Structure 1
Amino acid sequence: MAGHHGQLPRLSRDQIQALSNISAEFQQWLNQNSPGKRPTLGDFTDVEGTRNATIASTSRLVARLGAAEDTMEETSTNITVRDGWISRATITRPSPKANKPAGPLIVLYHSGGFMAGTPESMIAYARGLVRLFGATVICPSYRLSPEHQFPIPIDDAWDTLKWAGENAASLNADPDKGFIVGGVSTGGNFSPVLARRAVEEELCPPLTGHWAGVPVFMRNTTVPEKYEDIWTSWTQNAGAPLINATDAEILFDYYKPDFESPLFNAIVPDGFDVCDLSPAFIMVSGMDLIRDDGIVYSYTLDDAGVPVQLKAYPGVPHSFWAYFPTLNQSRTAMVDIAQGVAWLLKTTVDEKEAADAMLKNY
């Protein structure tokens, strides 16, 4: 796209739409796995069933990953939020045996369509980031819809993020080395919203970057006019695998977000200067219903001069690396997460180092 002033390479409308052409690798995977053997997020009209399926999937992930090495410790803690509700958070960090100085502070929020999921689903990311950066990684829970609708879950996330910053020293973290917020899917929505709120409410210590994996933000009424022409994935990928347009409407009906609120969309034009946002690492999936939300968000930040990296994965569905971990693209995505976070931390890791850290038992 012509006329932009940032550093991010731009894709044309046709190039963006071509991202939804199924990859040869993913097509081969589908050919080799009958529908009954394919992962599914379940029937979202069955809230309890969806939650139970998510818990079972996370349990299988944790079993596959096995126990953390003895240079790492995993604990949990309770964080009390504004109305007395208690968030259960996992903490992954170097153990005393590792004899490492305090590292960066990273807070990650799990996926689950605003209505399911647990912090343990973030364990592979947490361990990898501890191995690479000596980080302290906190993964808090938040209340789920439909019992707890917008803005309760994002307020929970804000309160737990503040708690992490306030308790950095006792967590053996040093935010001066980096204070990153991140997440996938629902967490990918939370991350930019929290990055904006951190500016508006002067979070101390300040965030130094945010990672948003397959984020959702927009309705056709809230897409910046400049990018309306390229925002097509909600119609192009309406029948997408894992989460289709009908599924999204069910999830939104549970969560009931205000699409024009900065607590759902970090770039709503209500006087906030987007240029104040921390650097961002954004990931989008080509076959995803919400692909173009992340692309438009990235371009908007880039226009404002915010350092941003965008990774677009052609021909694969929403959160593909979590549901199809045997794909080469999934392994690439996990390495990209490590290198993207390294970039946010103003450092680098090579591909082999990133793969060894992120893909252990993955």
Structure 2
Amino acid sequence: MSKQTSDPEHELPPLDPECAAVLDEIPEEYFPKSLLDFDDLPASRERFADVMEMMADDEETLETVQTEEISVPGPEKGEELRLRVHSPIDSTGPHPCVYWIHGGGMVIGSAEEEDAVAHRFVDELDCVVVAPDYRLAPEHPYPTPVDDCYAGLNWVSENAAELDVDDSRIAIAGPSAGGGLAAGVTLRARDEGGPELCYQMLIYPMIDDRNETVSSKQVTDIGIWDRDMNIAGWDAYLGDRSGSDDIPHYAAPARATDLSGLPPTFLDVETHDAFRDETTTYAQRLAASGVQTEYHLWSGGFHGYDIFAPETKLTQTTWETRFNALRQTLTD
């Protein structure tokens, strides 16, 4: 399953040996190409949830973390938004908060499927993690996912005391589509005078609908979120406008012309990822705009390696680096 590229003019470097071995061992039915049928997304979401549940069964249950699901006002009158709130049990607040937005290409995933990751954040950082269960495309295209996530962030900020959260230490984070939504919400908070975030962590973020970079053309057959799936995901999210000039930067943050005034930012991406070059460019533009920026390019990793290859040295180093970056901001 670990083919390299179908574009001989742009060869990828070798995969990390441990990651390559994992790719070869992952059952065919675990791959998004097998899981994701854009013509039957409800069934695809059920299959994906089953796979994530099976993988979560291997995670250690943390008795130091409590999880509560609450409903808060959505972006429009009469709408409700579900939030998963994960808190330390034996710890005195107010705590820092990580507002964690799940991935899934804008079309799959849920807040529940992020419980294991959220618990790790709580355990490592003694923080509260809030995960919004935003509505998915194509049933709910842009701007609904951004609106949902922004409404949830506003509620967290306005009700920080109720959550035992320090409103001055709220960070936003997410992987893949969640990273793109986090970037869009952060831009909107800056533009609209919303919650003053102390940090954003963009993990291999989905931020550019144009699919014109070298890496977007290289990563075509590795098996986990390649070019064709990315185009389909953006089409589901943006409809016929995808790739056109008429795309707001809240939808595709790579299109933002002004990146100044954003909070300190951590970005990481792997070499074997269609999002490699758009993430790299975004990091460079943030730094050039005066934003405190930390960027990591993980050699030999594939999209989602930190989920599908948790025991590899690369994944362990990656998570240690992420936690250390957040720890310096939230707890030091």
For Structure 1 versus Structure 2, the TM-score category normalised by the shorter chain is 0.7 to 0.9
Deviation for aligned residue 1:34 = 6.8
Match of 2:286 in 1: 301
Q: Following the alignment from structure 1 to structure 2, what is the Cα–Cα distance between the partners of residues 218 and 114?
A: 13
- 2:191 alignment partner in structure 1: 200
- From the superposition, tell whether residues 29 and 277 of structure 1 become closer, same or farther in structure 2 (CA, over 3 Å): same
Distance (Å, rounded) in 2 between the aligned partners of 1:182 and 1:234? 23
Query: Where does residue 87 of structure 2 map in the other structure?
Result: 93
Structure 1: where are the runs of 5+ without partners?
1-16, 224-230, 348-362
The answer on 1:213 being equivalent to 2:213 is: no
**Residue number among 271, 295, 299 corresponding to 1:314 in the alignment:** 299
Structure 1 residues 94 and 129, CA, compared in 2 at 3 Å: closer, same or farther? same
Q: CA deviation at 1:337?
A: 2.0
| Residues 117-266 of structure 1 mapped to structure 2, 5 A cutoff | 117-176=109-168, 178-204=169-195, 206-220=196-210, 231-256=213-238, 260-266=247-253
C-alpha displacement of 1:234: 0.9
Aligned residues, how many?
315
1:113 pairs with 2:105: yes
Structure 1 residue 314 displacement after superposition: 1.5
Deviation at 1:241, TM superposition (A): 2.3
CA distance in structure 1 between the partners assigned to 2:200 and 2:70 by the alignment = 23
Give me the identity figure in percent: 22
- Cα distance between partner residues in 2 of 1:199 and 1:34: 41
Q: Provide TM-score, normalisation by structure 2.
A: 0.87
- AA in 2 matched with 1:203: G
CA RMSD of aligned residues (A): 2.3
Contact 2:204 2:270 in 1 (8 A): yes
CA gap of 1:63–1:27, structure 2 versus 1, over 3 A, is: closer
Which residue of 2 is the match for residue 25 of structure 1?
18
Q: Which amino acid is 1:241 matched to?
A: G
TM-score normalized by the length of structure 1 = 0.80
Structure 2 contact 209–231 (Cα < 8 Å) conserved: no
Of Structure 1 and Structure 2, the greater strand share is in 2
Partner of 2:325: 340
**Deviation of residue 35 (structure 1)?**
5.3
Q: 2:46 is matched by which residue type in structure 1?
A: N
Q: Does 1:291 align with 2:276?
A: yes
C-alpha deviation, 1:239, in angstroms: 2.9
Instruction: Classify 1:72/1:36 alpha carbon distance in 2 versus 1 (closer, same or farther; 3 Å).
Output: closer
- Residue 327 of structure 1 corresponds to 312
Distance change (3 Å), C-alpha of 1:62 and 1:269: closer
CA distance in 2, matches of 1:341, 1:103: 13
- The alpha-carbon deviation at position 103 of structure 1 amounts to 1.0
In the TM superposition, what is the alpha-carbon distance from 1:346 to its structure 2 partner? Answer: 6.4
- Structure 2 CA distance for aligned equivalents of residues 330 and 211 of structure 1: 16
Q: CA deviation at 1:63?
A: 2.9
